[in-house]
Structure 1
Amino acid sequence: MFIIGCVMFVLATMHVGMNCFRMVRGYVDEVNSPGGAAAFLSNLAPWDHIFKDTIYATTEMLGDGVAIYRCWIIWDRSYKVIALPGVLLIASIISGYMVCGLYATFDPTTSVFDPKLTHWVRTFYSVAVVQSAITTGLMAYRIYQAEKRTAKYRTGQSPLRPVLYILLESASLLFFVELVLLTLYAANYNCQYLMLEPVTPLVGITFTAITLRISLRSAEGTSKRSITSNTRGMPADSQFGTVGTIPMRHIAINVTKDVEAHGSSDGTSFVDFDKPLDGKKEPMYAE
């Protein structure tokens, strides 16, 4: 995950750098050319525009792939669960790179709302929205299931509920931006560019936010459990086991023994304690 985070950081930095490069070219180098900066920035064919949107498409697909991987892990590596998200990822790859490839074939006057582009762009945006909703919903539902199953055994606050909130809060930001972007593009509004450019860094921010917030939450919970364990005079390591780190309720166990007493003529009695483990009875002498 650290390597993926670094890759997303590099892609987001390159995307911002290309936007700055295009702004400088448009408002400095091309300001006196026919049409000015507006004509330059609306031209889809230059290499810098194609490269910028290729970075965006790649980042979006990488974010979808990470979300699918997380779903696969949370659902016990079940391929059935990620079948639909996997198909959507393939559709996203085809439509995204198809758009970038078509840019090079257009003349400078072609708009981003050209009929040759609209169905591919709408497909890419729609798949991104649906993919985000499905993967987030699958992860949230799995965590909710685990939280409900452990509710009757634990004491205190559930450690899974904050994780659920973190997932929903972090993923909802990207989902909202992608939904608004799809709506604006479908309505043929140029203000869709205002939502398009932040998507690339938001993919990395969402990925990093979920990872860091859950890690910090786990570290905070571990620290609290360690302090509580030490104040009770118990080893801190005893709090950690295969059941996770959920504080459990105490379970009462009743153990019964069968005792048989034999009397003798001199008043001495012998008491036998039944031992079901080895099936033997050992006599105990009592006055």
Structure 2
Amino acid sequence: MPLDTAAIFSTAMEGILYGFSVLMFVGTMWALTRKRRMKDINRTNTAVAFMLLILSTAHMIVDIVRLEQGLVTYRDTFPGGPAAFFADVTQITFVVKNIMYSLQTMLGDGMVIHRCYVVWQSVWIIIVPSLLWIAMTVCAFCADYKLSNATSEAGDVFAKPTGQWITAFYTMSLASNLLASGFLAYRIWRMERNVSAIRTSNRSMMPIVRVLADAAILYSVTILTGLVCFVEANNGQYVILDMTMPIISIAFYMIIIRMAMKTTRYGHNSTIGMGTETTREISQQYHMRRMPVEVHISQITHQDETSKSAC
């Protein structure tokens, strides 16, 4: 795929997905603030939602500017034409958009790890995902540094000075997301399994697992596709890169919105998006559903002993 064609296609696809992400951002704000006082709003989810929107918007603007420069401003003056312009890693617009992508990815993956910690309430469970996240951050810094200091002879983005760091970045991001999402879904599944036998209502935590799995699959498939394209030095990775920006936002928003839909269906008020209050409530449900059984058994035992004494 010629790079000028890839630039047009990637910007068009990013624009479509960006429109969906903006719409879902509005839905996320509605879910986070509906019938809540200011002090009850989950500030972490709200702040992350705004940051994802800002980064996605800025990336979209940079891509439009970059498209205009490559196809209009420098079309006849840049050596090699538009295709050479879009392959030039020394362009400031290319460096800026990659920095934004790194920040967006670190923010999205960091939020998954944060949710995992909130549900498990244990630092030990997030050690490996956190180490992968730190390694990913280092790779992103090194890749962006190499790009910002590249010369006109650096070649394309697949060249070794940048390619090795970008490959490691994709790999660490994929591993961190899969691991944290897996731990998170497993924890909720185990809690659901433990309380299912004694549940007195038809409410289940399995929809939460499906929501988390859907978001993890959407993001992981996108990252894996980008990694394969990059390893094969396929220009399709430019398209995947631009599409990933709004997809990260969509994956984050869809969890909050679908959680809001589930809680509305059950008439259940709690902090949406696996926040601290949601986790506390799940734990309380788990323990409270065990206590009546234990109390009931102790009462029966006491009554039996009394009856034997009377006999």
| TM-score interval, normalised by the smaller of the two chains | 0.7 to 0.9
- Paired AA for residue 108 in structure 1: S
Contact 1:151 1:158 in 2 (8 A): no
User: Do residues 123 (structure 1) and 164 (structure 2) align?
Assistant: no
The residue number in structure 2 matching 1:200 is 245
| Match in the other structure for 1:107 | 151
How much has 1:135 moved relative to structure 2?
0.9
Counterpart residue number, 1:18: 62
**Contact (CA 8 Å) 1:147, 1:158: kept in 2 or not?**
no
The structural deviation recorded for 1:245 is 9.6
- Is residue 2:104 matched to residue 1:59? yes
2:134 to 86, 90, 97: 90
RMSD: 2.7
Which structure 2 residues correspond to residues 129-168 of structure 1 after superposition, within 5 A? Answer: 129-168=174-213
User: In 2, distance between residues paired with 1:125 and 1:105?
Assistant: 21
Residues 1:43 and 1:191: Cα distance change in structure 2 (over 3 Å): same
In the TM superposition, what is the alpha-carbon distance from 1:130 to its structure 2 partner? 0.5
| Structure with the largest fraction of helix | 2
Q: CA deviation at 1:30?
A: 1.0
Structure ranking higher in strand proportion: 1
Q: Over residues 183-203 of structure 1, what are the superposed CA-to-partner deviations in whole Å (9 max), with x where a residue is unaligned?
A: 111111111111111111111
Structure 1 residues 219 and 65 mapped into 2: Cα distance closer, same or farther (>3 Å)? same
CA shift digits 1:70-93 (9 cap, x unpaired): 0100002x1101111111111111
Q: Secondary structure at the match of 1:91?
A: helix
**Structure number with higher relative contact order (C-alpha < 8 Å, ≥ 6 residues apart):** 2
Deviations 1:74-115 (A, max 9, x none): 002x11011111111111111101111111232335111111
Q: What secondary structure does 1:32 align onto?
A: coil
Check whether the contact 1:159–1:246 (CA below 8 A) recurs between aligned residues.
no
- Once the two structures are TM-superposed, the CA of residue 147 in structure 1 deviates from its matched residue by 0.6
Structure 1 segments, 4+ long, off by >3 Å, are: 155-158, 240-259
Cα deviation, residue 151, structure 1: 0.9
Q: Give 5+ residue unaligned stretches, structure 2.
A: 1-44, 270-280
Q: Residue 242 of structure 2 aligns to which amino acid in structure 1?
A: E
How far apart are the structure 2 equivalents of 1:56 and 1:196?
A: 8
Q: 1:221 is matched with which residue: 258, 262, 266?
A: 266
- Change in CA separation of 1:27 and 1:242 when aligned onto 2, cut-off 3 Å: closer
On the 8 A contact 2:185/2:213 being kept in 1, the answer is yes
Give the conservation status (yes or no) of the 8 Å contact 1:22–1:48: yes
Alignment partners' CA distance in 2, 1:241 and 1:14: 37
Kindly state the Cα deviation for residue 19 of structure 1 after the two structures are TM-superposed.
Answer: 0.6
Structure 1-normalised TM-score? 0.78
In structure 1, the partner of 2:273 is: none
Q: TM-score, normalised by structure 2?
A: 0.72
- How many corresponding residue pairs? 244
User: 8 Å contact 1:15–1:55 — kept in the other structure?
Assistant: yes
State the AA in 2 paired with 1:244.
Answer: Q
Deviation at 1:244, TM superposition (A): 3.3
- What is aligned with 1:229? none
The answer on 1:68 being equivalent to 2:109 is: no
Quote the Cα distance in structure 1 between the aligned partners of 2:151 and 2:85: 12
CA offset digits 1:112-168 (Å, max 9, x no partner): 111112211110000011011101101010011001000111145442011111110
Alignment match, 2:71: 27
Q: Which residue of 2 aligns with 1:265?
A: none
Where in structure 2 are the equivalents of 1:168-187 lying within 5 Å? 168-187=213-232
Specify whether residues 243 and 88 from structure 1 end up closer, same or farther in structure 2 by C-alpha distance, changes over 3 A only.
Answer: closer
- CA distance in structure 1 between the aligned counterparts of 2:130 and 2:284, rounded to whole angstroms: 31
**Secondary structure at the residue paired with 2:169?**
helix
